[in-house]
Amino acid sequence: MRVRTAPMPLAMERVRQRFERWRRTRTPGRSPIPDALWAVAVALARQHGLYATSQLLRLDYTALKRRLLAGDRPVAPAPASPTFVELTPAPGPCTACVIEIEGPHGGRMRVQLPGVTLPDLVALTRVVWSGAA
């Protein structure tokens, strides 16, 4: 007696081919599976099951399960970076203005503006943010 198997869905076959192509072209040794391939493998596992996906793609069942479960956990939102900074004028005339900015990747900038007024600072900011500078 011969058992008939259902044809493999086209999406699964395409992912299997992507994994095989990666395996043929990767550098020798134990290079890690790219995140993009893991992502499609997890998506297939959600739709067709862990065991079937791990067998078809020749993946470690436990590693695929760990990634599948990690995707189900709620992700804590990243702390928001400030998008607006309000400048309030100091009482009396301003003799010097120093602006220090530190970017998220560690870059720093320091601008010294002697004798600047608040309207001048607002105009400068508009020019810089508009990209016209």
Q: What is the pTM of this model?
A: 0.49
Report CA-CA distances (Å) from 36 to 4, 55, 64: 33, 19, 13
- Residue-wise pLDDT for 52-111, tens only, equals 999 999 999 999 999 998 876 655 566 666 666 666 666 666 667 777 777 666 777 777
pLDDT of residue 112: 80
pLDDT at 10 over 60: yes
Q: Is residue 103 part of a domain?
A: yes
- Residue-wise pLDDT for 20-47, tens only, equals 998 888 877 778 888 899 999 999 999 8
> End of a domain among 72, 89, 122?
72
pLDDT of residue 91: 63
49: containing domain = 10-72
Q: Is residue 126 part of a domain?
A: yes
Helix (H, G, I), strand (E, B) or coil at 112: strand
Q: Are residues 90 and 66 in the same domain?
A: no
Q: How many domains does the chain have?
A: 2
